[in-house]
């Protein structure tokens, strides 16, 4: 059995002060607690381990899915918990596959000659956003930050990007 001091140390090292025990209990991350006659919550080793598990899961799958997994662990049957964990792993696998595909695309694009742009290489901001798999607002933000330098059409209404400009886009793979 874990001593009270070890539980407190585990709790403080896992939470980093981002949340309180009460908020985690209310969110369903911690199992329900009992209360003393004076109304104080009584935490056990299970609560400390659940807090540590939440922090570890949050690092891997994010806070929303971590909460879902721990709520399932506390309130459901084992097959439901295993299903939630499988779903988290499947999502992470899909994200890794998307990153690998994006890396392959970037490798292929970087091999194309960029010193000889053609008129048909130009794209509107919407077309470029679609090709990169990002929102047009992200490209506008990158332009405002000086990360992308597109040329403008003569009417000034369409933002045209050549391959050199697109090759410098800070593509976010997520």
Each residue's pLDDT tens digit, 43-77: 888 888 888 899 889 988 988 999 999 999 988 89
16 secondary structure, DSSP code: T
> Is pLDDT above 50 for 162?
no
Q: Which residues of 86-124 are buried (b: 16+ CB within 10 A; e: fewer)?
A: eebeeeeeeeeeeeeebeeeeeebeeeebeeeeeebbbb
pTM of the model: 0.54
4 secondary structure, DSSP code: H
Q: What is the pLDDT of residue 89?
A: 93
Torsion of CA 123, 124, 130, 131, to 10 degrees: 10
Q: Which CATH architecture has domain 112-167?
A: Orthogonal Bundle (1.10)
Sign for the CA dihedral angle at 30, 32, 35, 40 comes to positive
């Amino acid at each position: 059995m874990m001593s009270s001091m070890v539980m407190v140390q585990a709790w403080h090292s896992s939470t980093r002060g981002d949340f309180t025990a009460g908020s985690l209990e209310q969110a369903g991350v911690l199992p329900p607690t009992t209360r003393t006659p004076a109304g104080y919550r009584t935490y056990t080793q299970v609560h400390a381990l659940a807090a540590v598990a939440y922090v570890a899961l949050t690092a891997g799958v994010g806070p929303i899915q971590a909460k879902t997994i721990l709520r399932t662990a506390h309130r459901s049957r084992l097959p439901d918990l295993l299903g939630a964990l499988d779903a988290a792993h499947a999502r992470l696998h899909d994200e890794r596959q998307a990153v690998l595909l994006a890396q392959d695309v970037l490798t292929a694009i970087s091999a194309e000659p960029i010193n000889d742009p053609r008129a048909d290489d130009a794209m509107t901001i919407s077309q470029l956003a679609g090709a990169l798999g990002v929102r047009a607002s992200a490209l506008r933000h990158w332009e405002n930050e000086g990360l992308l330098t597109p040329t403008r059409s003569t009417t000034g209404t369409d933002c045209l990007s050549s391959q050199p400009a697109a090759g410098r886009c800070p593509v976010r793979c997520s």
